[in-house]
Each structure stands twice: as structure tokens, then as C-alpha cells.
């Protein structure tokens, strides 16, 4: 088979993907750039309005609230997820009996579908009959009062906190990636550290963390992308991010604009702003990681 024919065959085999990518991804992406400058309700012709969608977003208090909720959630849930998954991975990288069992046990929660998880958490955090409040009433009766124990998901002071806590439930995925990274750390480095008299803290700081730093960077970037797009859990758990839109996140407002309010142009503008935020944070992560991430090569 000559070179030209080989290329043609390869392209032919890849063509389903090319067609799918062009029709279902590339075209909508390009169209959404244009539509973000339009008043577009899906069923009527798009009307070009210049930067109005973007300037309206600046004055939109719900947009600001959704953005602020998302930033707070990301700032808390992302480090929490990184620390919990790394901690679990390090624990599961030790030589203890029944390791396979523990690894499965800690990975299993991340297999629970998000909708099922949301319903489960509603049972746990329910203000009246929830497991948590039943325990608190049993064991902390001395703080009984009209505000104790709180209705966790119905109180704007706690609802975000609960959601951040729940986010750690999915740490199993990142944990598996960390575990693979940890097992790649050359044993001789630990032996050398041991010979030098390094303790656990010192070994972790000077050997483990630097050696798995590319994995940490990977999980950080994936975490930024994932947490900034949090949707399913708050969407199922709350009605419009209630109470008081305290768990109303960026993608929920984007969804509502597109499919409930029929303001697709506005939603496209929101989509592009989110894309730029994620892109900038990812680039920043790469920039900051230059000095701290060590690649084997």
C-alpha cells in the first residue's frame, strides 16, 4: 500500500470521528461565539446586539452571585479533594493486610451516580429527620434551641459547606490516579532517604511529593475544570439553588438561561466567560507549576 493510499485509509477510518467532531462540537463551538453577540431565543432568528450580552452580565446580580458561589465552592472543594484523595492514596500505598479490600472500599463511593448520591445526602442532612440531626439531638442535647441543629441544606449559612463536604465523596477517582503515581516512585529513592535518616515527613516532602508532582498537577487541572462546572449535585439537591440561591452555581444559571428563560445568546456569552476563566486558571497552574513539578525526563 503506497503512502497516499495509507493516509486515505487512515482518514477514512477516522472519518466518523471527524464528522462527529465537526457537526456536534466544532460547528456549535464556532456558532456559540457568534451567538454570544446575539439576542437568540433558539426559535427566532438571531439578532446581532454586539457586546450587550457581556455588558448585561456585568450588571446581572444573579450572575455575580452564581459566579461568587462557584469561586467559593472551587476554592474550598478543590484543595479538599486534592488533600483527601492524596491522603487516601498514601494510606493505601502502605503495606498493610487486606490492602486490596481497602482500596476497593475507598474507591467504591465514587461509583455512586451523582443523582443517587444527592438523594442519599438529602436523607443524611435533612433538618427534621436526617441521620446527622438525629445524632446531634441525641448526643448534643444541651444546645437545643430554635436554631440547633440547623436545617443544613435549607440554611444559606451551611448549604455551601455541606456541598463542599459532599464533594469529597468522589475523591476515589483522583485517589486511583495518585496511587498509580505513588507506585511509580523508584524504591531506591526511599531507601536512600532512609539511609540518610529521613523521617516520614521529610521523605514525603522531599521524595514523594516531588516525584508525583506531575500527577498532582494533572489532578489540579482536572479539578479546576470539574469544580467550576459543578451542576448535577446542587441541581438535584436544591430548587433553583435555594435557599436564597446559596447553592446556585455558574452552570445552573447558564442552563436556566438557555433552556428555561430561552436566552441562548446570553447563555453562550456565559459559556465563553467560563471557558476563559478555566483557560486562564489552567495556564496559571502550568505557569506556577514550572518550578515545582518534576518530570522524570
Partner 1 sequence: MLLRKLYTPLTIVGLLATFAYSEYVVKPHYHDHKIHIVYWEKWTGGEGDAIKQTVNYFNHSQNKIHVDLLTISDIQDKTLLSVAGGDPPDVAGLYGADVAQYADDRAVIDLDPYLRKYGIKKSQYIPVYWKMNNIRGKEYALPSTPASTALFYNRALFKAAGMDPDKPRDWHHGHYTIEEMDKDAARLTKFAPNGQLQIMGFLPAEPGWWEWGWGYFFGGKLWNGSNKITANDAGNIKAYQWIASFSKKYGANNVSAFHSGLGQFSSSQNGFMAGKVAMEIQGVWFYHYIAMYAPNMLANPKTGKQAEWGIAPFPYPADRPDRAGTTFADEDVLVIPRGAKHPNSAFKFIDFMESPKGMDMLCGLQWKMSPLIHNEPGFYRNNRNRTARFFAEQAESKNVINVPRTGIYPEYADALQNAYDAVSLLDQTPKQALDVVQRQIQRQLNEYIQHEKMRLAAEGKSHK
| Nearest Cα residue to 226 out of 110, 123, 125, 120 | 110
Helix (H) or strand (E) holding 134: helix 131-139
CB of 99 to partner 1, least distance (A): 41
Positions that interact with partner 1 (CB under 8 A): 39, 41-45, 47, 49, 56, 59, 61-62, 126-129, 133, 137, 141, 144-148, 150-151, 153-156, 239-240, 242-245, 256, 259-262
CB of 197 to partner 1, least distance (A): 55
Give dist(CA 219, CA 198) in Å, integer. 27
CB of 241 to partner 1, least distance (A): 9
Give dist(CA 218, CA 18) in Å, integer. 27
Q: How many CA atoms lie less than 13 Å away from 233 in the CB half-sphere? A: 27
What's the angle, vertex CA 154, arms to CA 73 and CA 85, rounded to 5?
A: 35
CB of 109 to partner 1, least distance (A): 24
Question: Closer to partner 1 at the Cβ: 229 or 240?
Answer: 240
Residues of 154-172 as b/e, b for ≥16 C-beta within 10 angstroms?
bbeebbbebbbbbbbbbbb
Q: How many CA atoms lie less than 13 Å away from 118 in the CB half-sphere? A: 14
Question: Closer to partner 1 at the Cβ: 43 or 187?
Answer: 43
Question: Closer to partner 1 at the Cβ: 250 or 256?
Answer: 256
Question: Closer to partner 1 at the Cβ: 57 or 222?
Answer: 57
CB of 106 to partner 1, least distance (A): 30
> End-to-end distance of the chain based on CA atoms, in angstroms?
37
Amino acid at each position: 500500500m503506497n503512502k497516499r493510499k495509507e493516509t486515505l485509509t487512515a482518514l477514512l477510518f477516522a472519518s466518523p470521528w471527524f464528522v462527529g467532531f465537526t457537526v456536534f462540537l466544532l460547528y456549535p463551538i464556532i456558532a456559540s461565539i457568534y451567538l454570544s453577540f446575539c439576542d437568540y431565543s433558539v426559535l427566532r432568528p438571531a439578532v446581532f446586539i454586539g457586546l450587550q450580552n457581556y455588558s448585561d452580565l456585568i450588571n446581572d446580580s444573579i450572575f455575580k452571585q452564581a459566579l461568587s458561589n462557584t469561586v467559593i465552592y472551587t476554592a474550598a472543594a478543590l484543595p479538599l479533594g486534592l488533600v483527601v484523595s492524596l491522603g487516601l492514596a498514601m494510606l493505601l500505598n502502605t503495606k498493610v493486610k487486606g490492602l486490596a479490600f481497602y482500596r476497593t472500599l475507598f474507591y467504591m463511593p465514587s461509583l455512586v451516580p451523582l443523582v443517587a448520591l444527592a438523594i442519599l445526602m438529602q436523607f443524611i442532612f435533612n433538618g427534621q429527620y436526617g441521620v446527622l440531626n438525629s445524632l446531634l439531638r441525641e448526643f448534643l442535647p444541651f444546645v437545643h434551641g430554635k436554631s440547633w441543629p440547623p436545617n443544613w441544606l435549607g440554611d444559606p449559612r451551611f448549604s455551601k459547606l455541606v456541598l463542599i463536604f459532599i464533594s469529597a465523596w468522589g475523591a476515589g477517582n483522583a485517589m486511583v490516579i495518585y496511587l498509580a503515581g505513588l507506585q511509580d516512585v523508584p524504591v531506591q529513592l526511599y531507601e536512600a532517604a532512609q539511609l540518610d535518616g529521613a523521617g516520614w515527613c521529610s521523605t514525603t516532602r522531599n521524595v514523594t511529593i516531588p516525584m508525583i508532582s506531575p500527577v498532582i498537577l494533572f489532578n489540579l487541572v482536572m479539578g479546576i475544570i470539574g469544580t467550576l462546572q459543578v451542576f448535577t449535585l446542587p441541581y438535584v439537591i436544591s430548587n433553583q439553588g435555594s435557599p436564597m440561591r446559596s447553592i446556585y452555581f455558574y452552570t445552573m444559571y447558564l442552563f436556566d438561561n438557555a433552556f428555561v428563560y430561552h436566552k441562548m445568546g446570553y447563555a453562550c456569552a456565559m459559556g465563553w466567560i467560563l471557558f476563559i476563566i478555566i483557560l486562564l486558571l489552567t495556564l496559571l497552574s502550568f505557569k506556577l507549576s514550572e518550578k515545582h513539578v518534576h518530570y522524570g525526563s
